[in-house]
Every structure is written in C-alpha cells, then in structure tokens.
Amino acid sequence: MNTTTKDTIIKIEDSKITKDSQKTEINILCFDITPYSQLVQFLCCSAFVFVCYLAYGYFLELIFSGAEVKPVSLYITLVQFLITMLLSYMESLIRNPIKRKVPLRTYAILAALTLGTMSLSNLALSYLNYPTQLIFKSCKLIPVMIGSIIILGKRYSFLDYLAAVIMCIGLTMFTLADSKTSPNFDGIGVLVISLALLCDAIIGNVQEKAMKQFHASNNEVVFYSYAIACCYLLVITGTSGIFVNGFAYCSKNAVTMYTNIFLLSVSGYMGLQAVLTLVRICGATVAVTVTTMRKALSIVISFLLFSKPFVFQYVWSGLLVALAIYLNHYSKKHPHYVPMPLLMCWYYVQSFYQSEYRYLRIKSKIYTDTV
C-alpha cells in the first residue's frame, strides 16, 4: 500500500512539472503578461495596437504629407530604418541574442521588398490623402490572389472572389472621391501606392516561407531585413545626392523633425510587436479584426486632425472595403460556403442543361434510326 501511494504522488508531481514547462511565456515587448487571463492579454494587446498605430499614422501624415518632402523622402525613410534596426537590436540584448538562421541571399530579397513597400508608402503620402493610402494598404488581398493564381495555380472560394470584387469597387470609389476633393491628388500617387502594395503582398509570402523553413524568430527577420535595407538606402541616397539634401532639409528644424521620425519609428515597431503577440494569443482572424478597426479609427482621426474636405462617398466606399476584408476572413473558416440563392440557381441551370442534353441525345438517336 505504501509503495502504491508513493508512486501515485510521484506521478502527480511529474504531471504538474510537465504542465508548467509547456506553458509558454507571452510578452508585449519586454512586458510579461503570461500570468494574466486571455481576456486581459487580448485587451492589453489591443490597447497597444490602437495607441501605437494611431500614433504611427499621425506622425506619418505629419512628416510626409507636405509636397516639399518628395525629393528627400528616401533620406527620412533611411533614418526610420536605422532607428527600427537599433530598436530590434536593443530588444535582442534584453530578451534573446540574435542568431542568424536564414541565408543572407534571402534577407537581401526581403530587404529589397521591405525598402520598396516602406519607401513607396511614405512617398505616396506626398500625392494622396492618408485615408486613401490606408485604404490601398488594406487591399493586399487583390495582388496576393492574382499572384497565387498565376504563380502557384491556387484556387479560391466563392467568398474570396466576391471579396476581391467588392474590394475593387470600394477602392475605386474611394480613389474617385479623393481625386474630386483633394487639391494635391495626383495619379502618380495611385501608381506609387500600387507598387508599394505589390511589394507588401510579396514580402508576406517570402517572410512566412523563410520563418517556417529555417525556424527564424521575428526579431531576427526584422533586424536583418532592416539592416540590409539600410545598406541599400545608404548607397542610393549617397550616389544620388538625396542624403546631403535630406540632411540639409531636416537640419532646418532638426529637433522637431528627428523627434517626429523617432516617435514614428518607435510607435511602428511597438505596434508591430503587439500585432504579432495578438496573433499568437488569439489567432490571425482576431488580429485582423482589431487592425481593421484601428484603420477605420485612423481614417476618422485623420479627417479630424488634418484639414481635408470630406464627402459621404468616403464612408460607404470604406465600408465596402471593410466588408470585403470580413468576407475574406470568413471564407477561411467556411471555404466551401456559397449563398443558397446562388446554389439554387446553379442546380437549376445544371438540371436544365442535363435535361436538354438528354432530349438532344434522344432526338439524335431517333433521327439516326429513321435515316
């Protein structure tokens, strides 16, 4: 009896140790939120996402909305990249040292794509309103679907195609409203933000493949991508003269300018880490829902803080884009969903086709027998 009791106690203790060892640590930057409930963790991450990205949008529009920034936008992007790289390195010193697992050739591609999406997005603000730029950035689904169909031969569900059509309509209506109301609207801005969107769509697939194949951490990918992108920018800005011109432009009001760039970089980095933690806790669908709500609030705040004309067409075209984003993520849980009226129409057409096919076969057989 004593031996049996002792064995039972040992088993209970072992199970507790195993359970505790499997409990993963959850952090937002350097703040440990593991002891709290999932609801508290969700609220903390959502608060970080809203506060950080709302601040990011404010400083982004504050810095890049002026037409005089166009010639030196790459210099400002270079400073932003340098600060982001340093933040990533500082976080690695506090948490885990960075050990490169992904080949440098892959990081060279990632850096080029990161440079493309960030620099073009920043430059687009000199041509377009921030709400229009944000609406374009929300429509990553369209180039992703086109690329997957052409390159991978992937098939999508009915809801995905419906979401893409609705998104195109909403995006077109939003752009038309901006072209009518914005005094500095330029068609070049649509081309620039479209190229940024294309880079943004590609970079997600490359990052996912690299992280899964080589088991790389988020911090490693961010650090090396931005570090190599900084090298690209140093060469581009140095040889073109943008570095000297950008330095002279920022030196006119150095304290304000560099403070705004620093706050832009910090808020963007903190928001990115909060989104990654939210995906880890609640999944991608919940994270996208939170970020979509944040984007809607960013658009409202942009109209309130920065003087720009407003028409009701902005509202319903933005709602169309939000509906398309919802349909796209609803299709992930229900990939084979088709509305009942469409199914009934399809069954009717199919049955009509089969009956007509049978009728033609009978008539042809009668005709053949008669001849």
Buried b (16+ CB within 10 A) or exposed e, 236-275: bbeeeebbeebeebbeeeeeebeebbebbbbbbbbbbbbb
Q: Which amino acid is at 215?
A: H
**Shared domain check, 178 and 79:** yes
Q: Which residue has the higher pLDDT, 327 or 70?
A: 70
For the ranges 201-210, 348-357, 359-368, the lowest mean pLDDT is seen at 359-368
| DSSP-derived secondary structure letter, 72 | G
**Shared domain check, 321 and 303:** yes
pLDDT of residue 191: 87
Which stretches of 23-103 are DSSP H helices?
Answer: 38-64, 73-94
**Shared domain check, 348 and 280:** no
Is 99 inside a domain boundary? Answer: yes
pLDDT of residue 260: 94
pLDDT of residue 359: 58
Q: Kindly tell me the burial class for residue 168, based on how many C-beta atoms sit within 10 Å of its own C-beta (0-12, 13-18, 19 or more).
A: middle
**Shared domain check, 175 and 53:** yes
Q: pLDDT category, 286, cuts 50, 70, 90? A: low
Number of domains in the chain: 2
**Shared domain check, 329 and 284:** yes
pLDDT in tens, 171-188: 677 666 666 666 555 678
Question: Element (H or E) spanning 32, and its range?
Answer: strand 31-32
Percent of the chain with pLDDT strictly greater than 70 = 65
Is 235 inside a domain boundary? Answer: yes
CA distance 203 to 20: 36
Per-residue 3-state assignment (H helix, E strand, C coil) for 115-144: HHHHHHHHHHCCCCCHHHHHHHHCCCHHHH
pLDDT in tens, 320-334: 777 777 776 677 676
pLDDT of residue 369: 55
Answering whether pTM is above 0.85, one says no
- Comparing C-alpha atoms, which of 185, 101, 140, 109 is closest to residue 321? 140
**Shared domain check, 355 and 232:** no
Helix-strand-coil split of the chain, %, nearest 5: 80, 0, 15
**Shared domain check, 352 and 250:** no
The parent domain of residue 100 ranges over: 39-337
Cβ-contact 131, 252 below 8 angstroms: no
Q: Is the dihedral of CA 126, 184, 182, 185 positive or negative?
A: negative
Q: What value does the mean pLDDT take over residues 185-207?
A: 78
CA distance 193 to 124: 6
**Shared domain check, 358 and 230:** no
**Shared domain check, 350 and 232:** no
pLDDT in tens, 19-50: 443 455 676 666 777 777 777 888 888 888 88
Is 315 inside a domain boundary? Answer: yes
Which residues fall within 8 angstroms of residue 272, CB to CB, at 6 or more apart? 222
CA distance 168 to 327: 14
Is 68 inside a domain boundary? Answer: yes
**Shared domain check, 356 and 245:** no
**Shared domain check, 109 and 212:** yes
Q: Is pLDDT above 60 for 107? A: yes
Is 299 inside a domain boundary? Answer: yes
Is 184 inside a domain boundary? Answer: yes
Q: What value does the mean pLDDT take over residues 214-224?
A: 81
Is 143 inside a domain boundary? Answer: yes
C-alpha distance from residue 32 to each of 28, 45, 152 (Å): 7, 12, 40
